[in-house]
Amino acid sequence: MKVSHLFAALAIAASGAAFAADKHADGHEIKPMHGGAVAEAKDIDYELVTKADKLQLYMRDHGKPLDPAGMSAKVTLLSGSDKQEAQLLPVDGKLEATGSFKVGTGTKAVVAVSKAGKAVASVRFVLK
């Protein structure tokens, strides 16, 4: 195989992988329902909504909201050299924290979700 054909094949394979990253294994797209950043982990859709004074984590299983009772999450925000952590607790069908948060474009968020003290998922977001 020529080198140019190899690069073309790799480019096509990489573009397909990037496209598939926005979909579940069953083919449905992950779309924000509350204006936040979305990610999928262990077949659950997570949507992180960030504001300067509030962080909210919505969770859906096949499009249906998950009840956050008994759940919590630790959010680590990384913005440049700044690191900030917050604990999210159940509030009206979502996990939420209030405070003062640095959540500009490019901020990375790592969310460790747990239920009854046991780890459920680790979800990563990059804010746009």
Rounded to 5 degrees, what are φ and ψ at 44?
-115, 135
On whether the CB atoms of residues 43 and 61 are closer than 8 A, the answer is yes
Q: Mind listing the pLDDT tens digit of every residue in the chain (128 residues)?
A: 443 333 333 333 333 322 333 444 555 577 888 899 999 999 899 999 999 999 999 999 988 999 999 999 999 999 989 999 999 999 999 999 999 999 999 999 999 999 988 999 999 999 98
The answer to whether residues 95 and 56 touch, using CB atoms and an 8 Å cutoff, is yes
**Which CATH class for the 31-126 domain?**
mainly beta
